[in-house]
Structure 1
Amino acid sequence: MEKFLKRKTSSGNNSTPTTQRKVDLDDLPSDPSDRKRISQFHPNQIDEVRRKYLLKGSCQPRGHDFPRRMIGNKGRRFNPTWFDQYGNWLEYSVKADKAFCLCCYLFRDHCSGQGGNDAFVTDGFSSWNKTERLAIHVGDINSCHNRALKKWEDLMRQNQSIAVAFHKQNDIVKNEYRIRLNASIDAARFLLNSALPFRGHDESEESLHRGNFLELVKLIGNQNEVVGKVTLGNAPGNNQMVAPSIQKDIVHCFAQEVLKYIFEEIGDDVFSLLVDESSDISKKEQMAVVLRYVKCVIVKERFVGIVHVMDTSVVSLKSAIESLFAEHGLSMKKVRGQGYDGASNMRGQFNGLKALIMRENSSAYYVHCFAHQLQLVVVEVAHKYIEVGKFFDMIATLMNVVCASCKRADMVRESQKEKVQEAIGNGEIETGIGLNQELSLGRPGDTRWGSHYKTLKHLVDLFPSVIEVLDYVENACDKPSSQRQANDLQIFFQSFDLVFYLHLMLHILGLTDSLSQALQRKDQDILNAISLVKSTKRELQQFRVDGFCRLLEKISSFCKKYDIEMVNMEDVYVNQKNRRQRTNITYRHYYEFECFNTVVDMQIQEFGDRFDEVSSELLTCMASLNPLYSFCDFDPSKLVRLAEFYPDDFSDEERRTLEHQLRLYIDNVKQDEIFGNLKGISDLGRVMVETRKHLAFSLVYRLLKLALVLPVATATVERCFSAMKIVKTSLRNRICDAFLNGCVICAVEKEGLAHVTNEDVMTRFQVMKTRRERL
């Protein structure tokens, strides 16, 4: 046909041939200013694009802080009440600060000029002083806008389509279709909730007939005789609701309903942003996004999606976040905190994601992940102090030798098992539930929280078994290199230095491990986190003052138990590097002042340096909210200063009112006994709501919410990556990005999944595409 007929081009200034490649419907831009004209899509895909945009809904960031600009002699801006006044067709572009019409973009006839039609479709409307233009755009009953709105309604009303008219259904057919669809939804819900594969071990379409989904549908049919007959008996071969495309559509419906539940909870309130990057099993870079917000005084951290990023530059990361926000009606102006793991492309002072977001929103304060900082303190000390660095190097070598094969790892476990049985027989250790569990050595990692502490703790318990394995490797191994490593390790493991640094680092890591575990709670607030950090620093200070003698007692007991030569602390210290060099110090002076004090001082210094990421003034002001010890830290001037950190949340008049409200507030709560035994601002917020004081002291309660929103650790993001690695394994590495995102959202947000009903999924499933059968 193209030899005889020339293809028609679309009208308008940006006319391009209508023949375009098909696009991925999941990658359609949400911001109206980023969209290409509807006529530029592939002709066979235009209706699918229209339906996709109608399902997503209009881009209406209701919580956005709409910028004000001078028009004439007055400051004007977009009025969010127009969203309610003009229904679902009105859209707003955050990037362009302009208004658009969704139905005219999707369905309008090319009648330019009527009612500012071009402005609302291509250029955007920004004359905020001429509000009558909105009504003029709607026009009379035969206007372009109303004709486009009628096409909108017709497209979504599938029961009146020609295809449905040709394919008539009676009530029996509709009922059977509902039963089949309901069985498929039940099967998908179970697999999503359990993070199980849908279609066999590799998620390929070829493995459909040996997959979990089909087996579950059959199981549902066997348990219910009616369902079984309808699902497996009377259904036509191409309409059994078990095809791969049907499975993906159902998963997408579940994920969208879960996100709808989450974003309805957030509403127009403020929230914090937690972001991290990780590669999946197929080496594709994925970015997980978690939102932290306060709902009914409960701090919630919700996973809202995994975004595949081709380019890991900060501009691409920010663009991906903006697209996600635009799709769900969120605004960057509502962000009140940022939490990352400290990667350079995330928290760079000048070009990082933190800096880009703070340029747009100065109230989005950055908080370095506290749990990551704890692990980095250990790594920093290992790099700075030579002897500690050597100690961890030898531990790494030990892992390479002992854990090099399954045989050696089994030898460690079997040796430990025999020693435990012997000790139980001699009555040396107790028995009971949870005691004497099987242990194994684990390789420490710089980014795995608490991994160093776990490795050293297991090394102490498995010490004699490890020595036995090293002796076996030295005498029985065929590789000379492994024999030399085993010999060097045996010499080092029989030295006093090993025992000293092992117990020293074990004690220090034990203190930080308790803090790390506490910080990883989802409901942890910033004030409690700072309080825990201060407590740990005080424990380290106390350990420096009187901990050396207690440490020597443990070392002496360990050396005596395993026949390791104990150093006489009163002897003159001999430098092992140069034995001819005479020293005037004793071993006690060397180990206490040059080793013990130096390492502990480094830890204390690192704590002080690394936990100063958040503005010290901001945290000092927040500390005034702490209810401990009858509000002893309460200071109205600091809380007024705290409100100044958030100019978008407190106007000048509200800040003046806050000063008077604070004095009345503190007098009121001190007289109430229920406020006397609170342990943190989370408890304070809960009690304020229970006593309805949050209504009387609304400005104080707003300050509380801002303090609760600040993130403490990125533990939730790490949990999302763990779920991603369960869903997408080495055997199931062909899952597409959209399918992976839907599965992970449902696997992580089980609470939201439980709120989704089958009817919600059925409704969304029916309208997302043109279906052969109708409910």
Structure 2
Amino acid sequence: MERYFKRKTQPEILEPSPKSPKNNESSSKQTCVDSMEINSETLQYDPGLCTPILSYHPNVRDQVRRAYLQNKPCQPKTHAFPYTNFGTKPRRFNPAWFTQFPNWLEYSTSQDAAYCLCCYLFKPDIGDQSGGDTFVGVGFKNWKCKKKLEIHVGRPNSSHNSAWRNCEALLNQKQHIETVISKQTDQDRIDYRTRLGASVGVSRILLQQGLPFRGHDESENSLNQGNFLEILRWLRHSNEGIKAVTLENAPENLKLTSPDIQNDISSSISYEIISAITSDINDSLFSILVDESRDKSSKEQMAIVLRFVDKGHVIERFVGIEHVVDTKASSLKLAIDDFFSRHGLSISKLHGQGYDGVSNMQALVAVAKKNSEIGDLFTMVSSVVNIVVASSKRRDILREKHTHVVLEALENNELSSGQGFGDHKRFIAGIAKEGSRYCECNELGQYMQRMRESGWESLFDEVSSFCDKNRIKIPSMDDSFTSGERPNRKAHPITNVHRYRVDLFTDVIDKQLTELNDRFTEKNTKLLLCVACLSPINSFFAFDKEKLMRLAQFYPSDFSEHDLELLKEQLENYIWDMTSNSEFVDLKGISDLAQKMVGTKKDHTYPLVYLLLTLALILPVATASVERVFSAMNIVKNTLRNRMGDLWMNDCLVAYIEKDIFNSIEDEAIMQWFQNMKTRRGQLF
């Protein structure tokens, strides 16, 4: 046969046809797709950027189609659709069309055009029938002519309806050839459901605990076949029904224990969790928190956390981790845009973005290290720590001496048993609570300014006390300063107090204040000061109507001119109502205020004021949520599991971190999604 047919290479098979229904511009942006494996997470769900379906290998086209159908049409209902001039009248896409055509109509935010999902997946190449390439390639943009959408649907035998019937047939596994050939009895379906339920149950345990699924040797003679198989074997011993249909009692080609099955189950769980999160957000405003870190295989991973308000409660949800080649702004933007289009989130509802929330505090430390003597101090301390940690004997000696110091301090009443780590945790919790007031940046600057002006004496007394306890000689502050180096004849002599107070203490604080002012612009500072006026502390002492009106003006897309007039009236009634209502006394922050307003239905009485509270609460502040993701990443993808793929790690992390949502998801929903991912040999019904 080789004499008569030339074998095509892999790039030739995957290269899109020049007559592809999709435009060449969008097709050129796509990378080649593996001929046998398709990762649904890497598919482009913006219809204006999708790879033409015919450019995929024939063996995986149905898998791609099924992924798109399961994800449902891309319908960003809350998107701010742009206007286009048709003659003298500006027109735009009408989101009400999504309700009229819910099963196939899609909208591309990148192309500002409408598309047809089923025609993209199954439209035959029959020329200009049913709109030609309008709803598949270039996109429909004639917003003044809605009738063309109905014309596109056409009669029962139209190209569109034929494509839609093919979509329904693809999702109906009872009509598949594999299902018809392998006729299964009712008992076979019951056994398959039991077997799949057992695999889902085992996956639940491992995902919730962040444990590996597979073992080094999973052969029948192995004494440790891995967590998945070992837990399944234990489960069989306690349940005769499961024992009768799993492992050696299951068909050889339908054991549901292979790595591919485990990946599909985990992917189904991750999808259901993220669907529940996006359902909770619905049409609410939200912000995004993003940070980057390297995993155990030295790959740059970008964690995404969504922050939104639900019934007055501030909620932060981890929704995924994306591998990025670099940390440039353009790369992060592309990854975020792809994530939004994949999960049907609208950019218009995004009202805040936070990147690397802890960098502000790290920057202040970095500024302090620029001083040569302080930098040397950090280097010296780091060296001491490395020397102590390198030896277990040194660590034991240090612990023993520290224990004696603590006991002596307790006996002398210099240290109470309530101090230490417990107080530290309460201090951190207090900082986190204060963070909800959004005043920490301004307060930090004011605190540093006060410390610069009057903090030297208290700091010097504290340092002197420490030196006395540890028998460290303190130089006289009135003596001339000597550095120990060769003196410079031209240098003006200075005292020790000038050296330590002016050249070190004041100089470092001045540099940190400059860094703080550079990072927080005047506009940001005004925004924070306006937000502080929402605080209910001390009977709404910080309330300022003018500043709150100015706060609303920061969000012109949410407050029209008419809304601003209504807000002015609502604020007058609001402050009188709040200060005269005993239920709003002793509130600790705007989060408590928002919850109390929802509980007393005041959010309906003052909707614009509650909108201000919501906008303030979703401001992306520095929180530990994103950092916890990286801590969990080091647990899930550790040194022994450093070859874990990006999709597998993402699915494991979503289930491991969002346990409360995971626990609320029924096994039936997971099994249904798993069943529809591919054509399965087993049948649930």
Give me the TM-score of the superposition, normalised by structure 1.
0.79
Q: Of 403, 410, 423, which aligns to 1:420?
A: 403
Match of 1:24 in 2: 38
2:20 corresponds to: 14
| Aligned pairs (5 A) from 1:442-461 | none
- Displacement of 1:670 in angstroms is 2.1
CA-to-partner distance for each residue in 1:338-391, whole Å, 9 max, x for gaps? 1012xxxxxxxxxxxxxxxxxxxxxxxxxxx3x4322321220221x3332232
1:381 aligns with 2:368: yes
1:564 corresponds to which of 472, 478, 484: 472
Which stretches in structure 2 are left out of the alignment for 5+ residues?
Answer: 23-31
Give the drift of 1:681.
1.4
Residues of 1 paired with 2:592 and 2:539: CA distance?
13
Determine whether 1:743 maps to 2:652: yes
Cross-structure match for 1:485: none
SS in 1 for 2:289: strand
SS at match of 2:59: helix
User: Residue deviations 1:433-456, cap 9 Å, x none?
Assistant: 89999xxxxxxxxxxxxxxxxxxx
Task: Name the CA distance, whole Å, in 1 between partners of 2:541 and 2:503.
Answer: 40
Displacement, 1:182? Answer: 0.8
The Cα shift of 1:184 comes to 0.7
Q: Which residue of 1 aligns with 2:553?
A: 644
1:406 to 2:391 alignment: yes
Q: Secondary structure at the match of 2:288?
A: strand
Q: Aligned with 1:626: secondary structure?
A: coil
Say which is worse superposed, 113-122 or 20-29, in terms of deviation: 20-29
> 239, 264, 272: which is aligned to 1:249?
264
After superposition, residues 242-641 of structure 1 pair within 5 angstroms as 242-341=257-356, 369=357, 371-383=358-370, 385-403=371-389, 405-407=390-392, 410-417=393-400, 420=403, 424=407, 428=411, 518=430, 524-525=435-436, 528-530=437-439, 532-544=440-452, 547-574=455-482, 576-578=484-486, 586-588=495-497, 590-612=499-521, 615-641=524-550
Contact 2:38 2:60 in 1 (8 A): no
1:88 equivalenced with 2:103 (yes/no): yes
1:505 counterpart residue number: none
After superposition, the Cα gap between the structure-2 partners of 1:21 and 1:667, relative to the gap in structure 1 and judged at 3 Å, is closer
Give the letter aligned to residue 630 of structure 1: S
Q: Contact 1:272–1:293 (CA<8 Å) still a contact in 2?
A: yes
CA distance in 1, matches of 2:81, 2:221: 51
Partner of 2:614: 705
1:179–1:230 CA contact under 8 A, matched in 2: yes
Superposition RMSD on alpha carbons, in Å? 3.4
CA distance in 2, matches of 1:631, 1:422: 47
Instruction: Kindly state the Cα deviation for residue 643 of structure 1 after the two structures are TM-superposed.
Output: 2.1
Distance 2:438 2:525 in 1: 14
Alignment CA distance shift 1:124-1:579 (3 Å): closer
CA drift at 1:647: 2.0
Alignment of 1:215-226 (within 5 A): 215-226=230-241
In 2 relative to 1, CA 227–3 (structure 1 residues): closer, same or farther, beyond 3 Å?
Answer: same
For residue 637 of structure 1, what is the amino acid of its counterpart?
E
Q: Distance in 1 between matches of 2:405 and 2:334?
A: 62
The 1:205/1:676 distance shift into structure 2, 3 A limit, reads farther
Are positions 1:103 and 2:112 aligned together?
no
Aligned residue in 2 for 1:761: 670
CA distance in 2, matches of 1:550, 1:10: 73
How many residues matched?
664
What is the one-letter code of the residue matched to 1:696? T
The structural deviation recorded for 1:39 is 1.9
Report deviation, 1:40: 2.1
1:274 and 1:339 in contact (8 A); partners too: yes
CA contact 1:423–1:429 (8 Å) conserved in 2? no
Residues in 1 aligned to 2:77 and 2:409: alpha-carbon distance in whole angstroms: 71
Q: How much has 1:336 moved relative to structure 2?
A: 0.8
Conservation of the 8 A alpha-carbon contact between 2:303 and 2:322: yes
Alpha-carbon distance between aligned partners in 2 of 1:241 and 1:627, rounded to the nearest angstrom:
57
SS of the residue corresponding to residue 34 of structure 1 reads coil
1:602 shift after superposition: 4.4
Q: Is the 8 A contact 1:720 1:748 kept in 2?
A: yes
Q: Tell me how far apart the structure 2 counterparts of residues 203 and 603 of structure 1 sit (CA, whole Å).
A: 57
> Closer, same or farther in 2 for the Cα pair 1:640/1:592, shift >3 Å?
closer
For 1:282 and 1:126, how far apart are their aligned partners in 2?
Answer: 46
Query: AA paired with 1:336?
Result: H
CA, structure 1 residues 577+170, in 2 after alignment: closer, same or farther (shift >3 Å)? same
Give how far 1:255 is off. 0.3
How far the C-alpha of 1:539 sits from its partner, in A, is 4.5
After superposition, the Cα gap between the structure-2 partners of 1:434 and 1:674, relative to the gap in structure 1 and judged at 3 Å, is closer
Structure 2 CA distance for aligned equivalents of residues 759 and 49 of structure 1: 24
Whether 2:103 is the aligned partner of 1:53: answer: no
Residues in 2 aligned to 1:614 and 1:515: alpha-carbon distance in whole angstroms: 30
Decide whether aligned partners of structure 1 residues 577 and 604 sit closer, same or farther in structure 2, where only a CA change above 3 A counts.
same
Call closer, same or farther: CA 1:425–1:129 in 2, change over 3 Å.
closer
Equivalent position SS for 1:615: helix
Which one-letter code corresponds to 2:603 in the other structure? H
Aligned counterparts of 2:409 and 2:386: Cα–Cα separation in 1: 34
Deviations, residues 379-412 of structure 1 (Å, cap 9, x unaligned)? 20221x3332232232233234434x224xx323
Once residues 34 and 495 of structure 2 are traced to their aligned partners in structure 1, the CA distance between those partners, rounded to angstroms, is 80
Distance (Å, rounded) in 1 between the aligned partners of 2:394 and 2:527: 54
Q: Post-superposition shift, 1:253? A: 0.3
* Closer, same or farther: CA 426–731 of 1 in aligned 2, 3 Å: closer
> For residue 732 of structure 1, what is the amino acid of its counterpart?
R
> Does the CA-based 8 Å contact 1:519-1:529 persist in structure 2?
no
Maintained 8 Å contact 1:208/1:214: no
CA distance in 1, matches of 2:517, 2:221: 57
Structure 1 residues 598-638: Cα deviation after superposition (integer angstroms, max 9, x where no partner): 44454455444444486223223323322223333333333
**Cα distance, 1:761–1:607 mapped onto 2, change above 3 Å:** same
C-alpha displacement of 1:749: 1.3
More moved, 415-424 vs 765-774:
415-424
- SS of the residue corresponding to residue 317 of structure 2 reads strand
Q: Structure 1 residues 313, 380: closer, same or farther in 2, change over 3 A?
A: closer
Q: Percent of counterpart pairs with the same letter?
A: 42
Distance 2:53 2:219 in 1: 33
Say which SS state the counterpart of residue 319 (structure 2) adopts. Answer: strand
Residues 243-275 of structure 1 deviation map (CA, whole Å, 9 limit, x = unaligned): 111000000000000000000011122211211
In 2 relative to 1, CA 586–4 (structure 1 residues): closer, same or farther, beyond 3 Å? closer
- Higher mean C-alpha deviation, range 737-746 or range 650-659: 650-659
Query: Aligned partners of 2:508 and 2:104: how far apart in 1?
Result: 65
Normalised TM-score (structure 2): 0.88
Instruction: Determine the structure 2 residue equivalent to 1:78.
Output: 93
Following superposition, the deviation at residue 155 of structure 1 comes to 1.1
Q: Give the equivalent residue in structure 1 for 2:28.
A: none
Q: Which moved more, 1:182-191 or 1:578-587?
A: 578-587
The reply to whether residue 661 of structure 1 matches residue 564 of structure 2 is: no
Q: 1:552 to 1:106 in 2, by over 3 A?
A: closer
Q: Residue 299 of structure 1: SS of its match in structure 2?
A: strand
Partner SS state of residue 33, structure 1: coil
**Amino acid corresponding to residue 734 of structure 1 in structure 2:** R
Alpha-carbon displacement from aligned partner over 1:521-563 (angstroms, at most 9, x marks no partner): 6x943xx231x34444454455455544444444344333333
Cα distance 1:206–1:714, how it changes in 2: closer, same or farther (>3 A)? farther
Deviation (angstroms), 1:591: 3.7
Does the C-alpha gap of structure 1 residues 118 and 629 become closer, same or farther in structure 2, counting only changes over 3 Å?
A: same
Secondary structure of the residue aligned to 1:765 is helix
SS at match of 1:640: helix
